[in-house]
């Protein structure tokens, strides 16, 4: 399970995924493994086993859900009818994450040298699947910065991320 600072940052920015989370025992959060879910209105109360091995209580609004790979795939269930179609779509996306196909590369993408450099930003299966899910569900791409906050930005043709990447010399 990916609990790296990078994945936490990616999940924290994935608001579309976070807002649909319904905590369950066995889920992972930025505070550790969720061992018990208490439902108290208006907030969820979660007992989380942290690195010390002792359970602590947190309110769900104060933590970031870290979806496992199987949970990310389940998010796509309503878009893709079979596991085969899901993996085929992932493979096609890995070949061309911006969906441009044979169109000419915009100046900003040429700076990435090739599509593989974008896919290469993702160090774990969870990071790759989260990027794929965000692209499929929200049309967003991950902008990784060396300093400052990273974030999800709208994909082309909206162009918001072009300005951000130019400022960061991507």
pLDDT per position as a tens digit, 99-139: 655 444 444 444 444 556 678 889 999 999 999 999 888 88
Give the chain's length: 170
Higher pLDDT pick, 151 / 64: 64
- Which residue blocks in 96-124 are alpha helix, DSSP H? 107-110, 115-119
User: Are both 119 and 106 inside the same structural domain?
Assistant: yes
Number of domains in the chain: 2
Q: What is the pLDDT of residue 79?
A: 82
Q: Per-residue confidence at 161, pLDDT binned at 50, 70, 90? A: very low
Q: What is the pLDDT of residue 111?
A: 47
User: Are both 74 and 155 inside the same structural domain?
Assistant: yes
Q: What is the pTM of this model?
A: 0.78
User: Are both 154 and 100 inside the same structural domain?
Assistant: yes
Residue 41 lies in a domain: yes
Q: What is the pLDDT of residue 138?
A: 85
Q: What is the pLDDT of residue 123?
A: 92
Q: What is the pLDDT of residue 42?
A: 58
Of 10, 35, 62, the position where a domain reaches its end is 62
Inter-residue contact 143 to 153 (CB < 8 Å): yes
Distance CA 154, CA 18 (A): 17
| Cβ contacts of 118 within 8 Å, gap of 6 or more | 97, 112, 141
Q: pLDDT tens digits, residue range 44-101?
A: 778 888 777 778 888 777 789 999 999 999 999 888 888 899 999 898 888 776 665 5
Instruction: Using alpha carbons, list the distances in angstroms from residue 81 to 25, 86, 89.
Output: 27, 8, 11
User: Are both 130 and 57 inside the same structural domain?
Assistant: no
| Structure tokens that stand for 88 in this block | 């085929």
| Structure tokens that stand for 69 in this block | 């790979």
Instruction: Using alpha carbons, list the distances in angstroms from residue 149 to 44, 106, 143, 144.
Output: 27, 24, 9, 8
Q: What is the pLDDT of residue 43?
A: 66
**How many of the other CB atoms lie within 10 Å of CB of 85?**
12
Residue 16 lies in a domain: no
Q: Which domain holds residue 31?
A: 22-62
User: Are both 33 and 83 inside the same structural domain?
Assistant: no
**How many of the other CB atoms lie within 10 Å of CB of 140?**
23
């Amino acid at each position: 399970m990916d609990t790296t600072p990078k994945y936490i940052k990616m999940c924290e920015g994935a608001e579309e995924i976070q807002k649909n989370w319904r905590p369950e025992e066995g889920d992972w959060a930025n505070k550790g493994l969720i061992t018990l879910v208490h439902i108290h209105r208006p907030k969820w109360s979660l007992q989380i086993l942290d690195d010390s091995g002792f359970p602590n209580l947190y309110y769900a609004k104060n933590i970031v859900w870290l979806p496992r790979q199987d949970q990310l795939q389940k998010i796509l269930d309503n878009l893709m009818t079979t596991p085969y179609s899901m993996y085929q779509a992932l493979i096609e996306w890995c070949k061309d994450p911006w969906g441009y196909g044979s169109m000419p590369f915009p100046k900003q993408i040429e700076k990435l040298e090739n599509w593989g450099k974008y896919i290469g930003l993702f160090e774990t299966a969870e990071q790759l699947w989260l990027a794929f899910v965000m692209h499929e569900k929200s049309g967003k791409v991950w902008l990784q910065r060396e300093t400052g906050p990273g974030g999800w930005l709208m994909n082309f043709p909206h162009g918001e991320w072009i300005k951000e990447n130019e400022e960061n010399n991507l």
